[in-house]
Amino acid sequence: MAIRRIVLGLGGLLALCWYAYGNPPVPSLADIISRADSFVNQPVELYVETTVERLQPDGFWLRQRGARIFVRGDAGKAAPGDYVTVTGVLLPDTTVALQAMYVGKGRRIKMAVSAVAVVLAFAVFLRGIRWTRHGWELKTDA
């Protein structure tokens, strides 16, 4: 019975993660670009999987899940490939006037460490629990 609760709890957690990934609390870059007229002169925040694509003297290009937009302003310490959070105002020419930016240095390393932790947790799960024709069971043999 306890195994069933664990499996249901993990399934629920995965469902919540999937839902949150597909329904972020702010509009995505693709949404902003497709409905630009409703976002003009409004503050926008880009942070979910947003990376610097290319630097230019007067600004930089951002990419978020395939969509791209030009940001007018100083890229600071950002380099191509860096994950960033950008806050700005959408201009009528469908560019963003930069107000603030945070560069997430080391984000790829954090992602790798998290992936290793998930793999190790799964290995521990499989080491202590097995699937039989009756369902999940705790392994009693060590």
Burial of 63 (0-12, 13-18, 19+ CB in 10 A): middle
Q: Which has more pLDDT, 1 or 39?
A: 39
pLDDT in tens, 38-87: 999 999 998 878 999 999 999 999 999 899 999 999 998 899 999 999 99
Q: What's the pLDDT score for residue 58? A: 94
Residue 137 pLDDT greater than 90, yes or no: no
Cβ–Cβ < 8 Å for 89, 99: yes
Cβ-contact 86, 50 below 8 angstroms: yes
- pLDDT exceeding 90 applies to what percent of the chain? 49
- Helices vs. strands in the chain: H and E counts, helices first: 4, 8
Task: Let me know if 120 is exposed, middle or buried by CB neighbors in 10 A (0-12, 13-18, 19+).
Answer: exposed
The pLDDT of residue 26 is: 78
100 pLDDT tier (thresholds 50, 70, 90):
very high
